[in-house]
Chain A
């Protein structure tokens, strides 16, 4: 029996006028993305984005119901199912990637949730990178006024700073500094100044690279090292409560306890945990396990082929809205330290590993 093939789904999001369609046009010009299908969400009466896009043929579906986040989860699901069905019947080319361009006002979470939770889609598609465009000219003002803008940045796997040729260097640098505070681990491109590497933006995601230690190392080098760069929170900002922090802890982690803790945290505070990602030294797992979540949505845990570096500690990065870092750390420590003996349920060989508590230790927040 052949292994199932999961089509990666990328989301391109970003505030109104931030250059999502331009970015999409540039990316689709790359021959490497010739087998990409595109879903576009229009907002308002005229599907302007549709008319701007040139190189999209019969694998494009234009969603008609306005804002993607609040009205058409069902329609989004139906559109993707329809594309999948047509692909299986051979009426559209066999696309191997799907890109969704959302409206500027969309909260990205429901879109991601639709792809992962839909009972049909989850067997055929998987989430890939989320790319967020940020307008270098208006970004600061949008961040100050629109909470959606901050959420779009927080959930990004990749950030693309657009219109940098129109903005002053000082203005752009201030925005970059601001972005690094909200989402320190997302690599950033300045679209006007550099060639965009479609592969790096779209296809180099955690799931695709987990089996290759070198690629995984690069992924984590970016994701985890940058996490420590979470700057002190600026209390004068509108987004003052959104900040990132990293936790690391020694010793093997009891997978069950971790799942219990994270599911409890997300049930109560899912709206405030904008991102959680990291790598866990799971007892008995042999190789590290990567965790990646957006609000209440946690991707299937990835069993990596090898550690990305010599560090064997478990490391977690949080981007949160108003949660106290010390309390999160202490809570996790209390849960991980409460492992009951495993012997009643399992082989005795597991008992020592599971009973050992993982002492939490934080990395410094810069």
Chain B
């Protein structure tokens, strides 16, 4: 735990699985960990833009999720990201939403 902010470490989410034999993870060394975090922010931002949200890194340990009006939530991992986004928005974030799919397909062209 960070003694300044009280954030618990050791995420149990499968996308941040602890490195051990037989487990696939990018949580192996600090450099790879930072690379993955930066890429995760870039990927998530494409989706979050649909909802008017932005994601940024926080101390290489958490992420800050923000609305256009400045409301923020600190999220530890992807397991908490979407719940936090729904809380900020007050509506569901559904990957099966046809409008979101059309938007992403459009941005891929």
Residues of chain A having any CB pair with chain B under 8 Å: 3-4, 116-117, 119, 122, 207, 210-211, 254-257, 259-261, 263-265, 267-269, 282, 285, 289, 293, 298-303, 323-324, 327-328, 330-331, 333-335, 337-342, 344-346, 354, 357
A260: contacting residue among B21, B24, B47, B100, CB under 8 A? B47
Please determine whether B43 and A339 come into contact, CB atoms closer than 8 angstroms.
Answer: yes
The 10 closest A-B pairs by CB, nearest first: A345-B38, A303-B24, A267-B82, A334-B104, A259-B15, A337-B108, A300-B17, A263-B78, A298-B14, A301-B24
User: Known contacts A263-B79, A268-B82, A328-B96: does B43 contact A338 (CB below 8 Å)?
Assistant: yes
How far apart are the CA atoms of A3 and B23 in the complex, in Å?
13
A259: contacting residue among B46, B78, B93, CB under 8 A? B78
Please determine whether A338 and B47 come into contact, CB atoms closer than 8 angstroms.
Answer: yes
B contacts with A: majority SS: helix
Interface presence of B69 (CB below 8 A): no
User: Known contacts A3-B21, A207-B22, A301-B17: does B96 contact A269 (CB below 8 Å)?
Assistant: yes
Interface size grouping (class) on chain B: 35 or more
Please determine whether A357 and B108 come into contact, CB atoms closer than 8 angstroms.
Answer: yes
A301: contacting residue among B14, B35, B81, B86, CB under 8 A? B14
Q: How many A-B residue pairs have CB under 8 A?
A: 126
In this complex, which of A268, A328, A330 has the most chain B Cβ atoms within 10 angstroms of its Cβ?
A: A268
Please determine whether B35 and A340 come into contact, CB atoms closer than 8 angstroms.
Answer: no
How far apart are the CA atoms of A340 and B2 in the complex, in Å?
31
Please determine whether A268 and B23 come into contact, CB atoms closer than 8 angstroms.
Answer: no
How far apart are the CA atoms of A334 and B39 in the complex, in Å?
17
How far apart are the CA atoms of A210 and B35 in the complex, in Å?
27
How far apart are the CA atoms of A357 and B101 in the complex, in Å?
15
Residues of A within 8 A of B25 (CB): 300-301
Residues of B within 8 A of A117 (CB): 12
Please determine whether B95 and A256 come into contact, CB atoms closer than 8 angstroms.
Answer: no
